[in-house]
């Protein structure tokens, strides 16, 4: 093992002045200055503590940055050097090093090599002990860490979907959120002078229990369902997700609670939530279990209809397809939209321009159409209403009908065969498979049709066949109430209410209805 001997300045000086180790120094200041450079020492990782030219050689002592280890470099700078071990020890004396036992023999070897003209390498003369730094307490997360950056999802085709990333974490009541491990203490070290090098002492993590969480020992649990948030060093479970925008920083949002978007929902980003309050929705994918409130503009995409299972309110809507299970309110205008409300469609201060608007509880609008010719349909009929539940049945029926048509097309070649006996085994097997698929799809289509009829029969008593226009219904507006329809070829000034006559086959206009 390597041991250390603490040699004081006085002891080294006494050794250096002994008669057996004479000291000579025949170098000049000019020579010393000319060789005052450290090309053999990596100054990025080391510090030069001292350097001196003596006995025809340059002595350079350097350490690592923490001064845990010290090396001596002996370089001959003059022909016929007269360097001695006493010169080296005299050089080391003022540095107050804790020299290693083997440092003395190493000095003798380096001096001998210098006198013989052999190259020398730096050698270790002192070594302390490196400090062992402690570690802070760690949070071992049992759910996704809410402070981690958003993630992306690699798709099968090799592309990356950054919309899958998110910066929120959903938890359930009773979930263990994280466990805090205790900090680890550090162990101090020693430098080459024998002085203490202080080690970092691990600290407790300051992440504390906040709202809707409880601490039990070193673990923290959620008290309710919600979104995990870290605020001011405290972990909270909040029933609200509040973001600036729904974009690549948030990814898709799927949260059984309230979502507040201070900015906009960007194209192709999905929001599934109990309620959504947003300033703007720009071709986002919307599926809301209760109420939707768009304070400014709602720009839709035909490929992605919005589903709202409660009430929907918006200021402006353009190209929006929305299936609502409650009431729909438009406060400014709706242009080229398809809005379906199981309740009322209320736009008493707004214009409905172009598109299809259906509501089971009646329609109220300021203007139907505009001065520039447009075609719009205002409909109060259960069979044309696509509320969320009805839309699902319509889609089931449509998909089954398309599958039946495809199967009939696949069966057409077999109709040319005079009898099944003329078919090969593979053909007969394919025919049987198609027949079974046809029977299954026809059954699905029949069930969907029956369920749709039952649902329409249940909704029929809720139909309130009336359309109120407060200012003007422009030419090009089609009104449908029950089985009756009316195409306006001229502008009709309001206020006017369109209702069915007693027979239910003709639409009447009422002026005095307030």
Per-residue pLDDT of the chain (514 residues), as tens digits, is 344 434 433 333 333 333 333 333 333 333 333 334 445 567 678 888 899 999 889 999 999 988 999 999 998 888 888 899 999 999 999 998 999 999 999 999 999 998 888 888 889 999 999 999 999 888 888 888 776 665 666 778 877 766 655 556 788 889 999 888 889 999 999 999 999 999 999 988 767 788 899 988 888 899 988 888 777 778 888 888 888 999 988 889 988 888 999 999 999 999 999 899 999 999 999 999 989 999 999 999 888 999 999 999 999 999 999 999 999 999 999 999 999 999 999 999 999 999 999 999 999 999 999 999 999 999 999 888 887 877 888 888 888 889 888 888 888 777 665 565 566 778 778 888 888 888 898 898 888 888 888 887 887 778 889 999 999 999 999 999 988 999 999 999 989 999 999 888 899 999 887 6
Q: What's residue 22's pLDDT?
A: 31
Q: What's residue 223's pLDDT?
A: 92
Calpha distance 207→230 (Å, rounded): 8
Decide the pairing of beta strands 253-265 and 270-282.
parallel
> Is the torsion defined by CA of 413, 416, 421, 424 positive or negative?
negative
Closest by Cα among 315, 349, 365 to 473: 365
- Cα within 13 Å of Cα(226), Cβ side: 18
Tokens of residue 193, six digits: 């002078």
Query: What are the E-state strand segments in 65-209?
Result: 69-76, 98-100, 123-127, 139-141, 153-154, 160-161, 169-171, 176-180, 189-190, 196-197, 208-209
Q: What share of the chain is helix, strand, coil (3-state, %, to 5)?
A: 25, 40, 35
Calpha distance 345→366 (Å, rounded): 12
> Is the torsion defined by CA of 227, 231, 236, 238 positive or negative?
negative
Calpha distance 435→408 (Å, rounded): 9
Q: What's residue 17's pLDDT?
A: 37
Tokens of residue 128, six digits: 């302390």
Place of tokens 């307030």: 514
Calpha distance 22→90 (Å, rounded): 11
Q: Parse the chain into domains and list their residue ranges.
A: 4-127, 139-233, 396-453
Whether the CB-CB separation of 299 and 278 falls below 8 Å is answered with no
Tokens of residue 187, six digits: 């162990």
| Cβ contacts of 43 within 8 Å, gap of 6 or more | none
For the entire predicted model, the pTM comes to 0.58
Whether the CB-CB separation of 124 and 69 falls below 8 Å is answered with yes
Q: What's residue 168's pLDDT?
A: 66
| Cβ contacts of 39 within 8 Å, gap of 6 or more | none
Calpha distance 429→445 (Å, rounded): 25
DSSP category for residue 163:
G
Whether the CB-CB separation of 101 and 82 falls below 8 Å is answered with no
Instruction: Transcribe 452-499 into DSSP letters.
Output: HHHHHHHHGGG---EEEEEEEE-TTEEEEETTEEEE-SS-EESSEEEE
DSSP category for residue 181:
P
Map residue 272 onto helix, strand or coil. strand
Calpha distance 316→332 (Å, rounded): 5
Whether the CB-CB separation of 288 and 308 falls below 8 Å is answered with yes
Q: What's residue 228's pLDDT?
A: 83
Tokens of residue 235, six digits: 């972990």
Helix (H) / strand (E) element for 85: namely helix 85-92
Distance of CA 265 to the CA centre of its chain: 15
Instruction: Transcribe 365-429 into DSSP letters.
Output: EEEES-SS---EEEEE-GGG---HHHHHHHHHHHHHHHHHHHHHHHHGGGGGSS-GGGS-HHHHH
Calpha distance 13→341 (Å, rounded): 101
Calpha distance 473→130 (Å, rounded): 87
Kindly list the distances between the CA atom of residue 508 and the CA atoms of 31, 367, 495, in Å, as whole numbers in the listed order. 117, 18, 14
């Amino acid at each position: 093992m390597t041991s250390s001997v603490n040699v004081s300045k006085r002891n080294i000086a006494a050794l250096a002045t002994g008669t057996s180790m004479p000291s000579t120094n025949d170098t000049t200041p000019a020579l010393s200055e000319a060789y005052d450079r450290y090309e053999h020492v990596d100054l990025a990782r080391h510090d030069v503590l001292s350097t001196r030219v003596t006995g025809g050689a340059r002595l350079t002592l350097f350490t690592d940055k923490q001064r845990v280890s010290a090396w001596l470099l002996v370089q001959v700078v003059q022909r016929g050097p007269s360097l001695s071990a006493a010169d080296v020890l005299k050089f080391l004396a003022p540095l107050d090093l804790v020299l290693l036992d083997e440092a003395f023999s190493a000095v003798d070897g380096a001096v001998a090599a210098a006198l013989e003209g052999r190259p020398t390498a730096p050698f270790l003369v002192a070594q302390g002990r490196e400090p062992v730094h402690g570690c802070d307490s760690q949070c071992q997360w049992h759910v996704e860490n809410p402070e981690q950056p958003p993630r992306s999802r690699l798709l099968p085709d090799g592309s990356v979907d950054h919309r899958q990333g998110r910066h929120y974490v959903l938890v359930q009541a009773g979930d263990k959120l994280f466990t805090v491990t205790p900090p680890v203490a550090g162990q101090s070290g020693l430098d080459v002078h024998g002085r203490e090098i202080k080690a970092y002492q691990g600290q407790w993590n300051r992440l504390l229990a906040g709202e809707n969480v409880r601490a039990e020992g070193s673990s923290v649990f959620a008290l309710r369902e919600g979104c995990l948030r870290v605020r001011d060093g405290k972990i909270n479970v909040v029933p609200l997700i509040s973001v600036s925008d729904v974009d690549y920083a948030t990814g898709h949002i799927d949260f059984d609670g309230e979502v507040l978007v201070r900015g906009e929902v960007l194209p192709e980003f999905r929001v599934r939530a109990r309620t959504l309050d947003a300033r703007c929705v720009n071709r986002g994918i919307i599926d809301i279990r209760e109420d939707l409130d768009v304070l400014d503009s709602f720009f839709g995409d035909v490929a992605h209809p919005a589903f709202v299972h409660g009430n929907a309110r918006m200021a402006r809507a353009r190209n929006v397809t929305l299936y609502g299970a409650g009431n729909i309110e438009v406060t400014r205008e709706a242009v080229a939209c398809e809005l379906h409300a199981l309740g009322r469609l209320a736009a008493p201060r707004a214009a409905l321009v172009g598109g299809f608007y259906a509501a089971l509880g009646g329609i109220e609008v300021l203007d139907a159409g505009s001065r520039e010719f447009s075609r719009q349909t205002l409909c109060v009929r259960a069979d044309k209403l696509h509320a969320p539940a009805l839309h699902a049945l319509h889609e089931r029926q449509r998909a089954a009908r398309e599958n039946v048509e495809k199967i009939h097309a696949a069966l057409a070649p077999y109709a040319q065969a005079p009898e099944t006996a003329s078919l090969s085994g593979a053909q007969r097997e394919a025919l049987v498979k198609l027949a079974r698929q046809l029977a299954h799809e026809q059954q699905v289509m029949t069930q969907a049709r029956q369920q749709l009829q039952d649902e329409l029969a249940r909704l029929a008593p809720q139909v309130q066949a009336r359309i109120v226009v407060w200012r003007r219904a422009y030419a090009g507006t089609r009104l449908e109430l029950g089985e009756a329809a009316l195409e306006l070829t001229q502008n009709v000034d309001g206020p006017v209410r369109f209702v069915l006559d007693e027979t239910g086959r003709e639409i009447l206009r009422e002026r005095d209805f307030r």
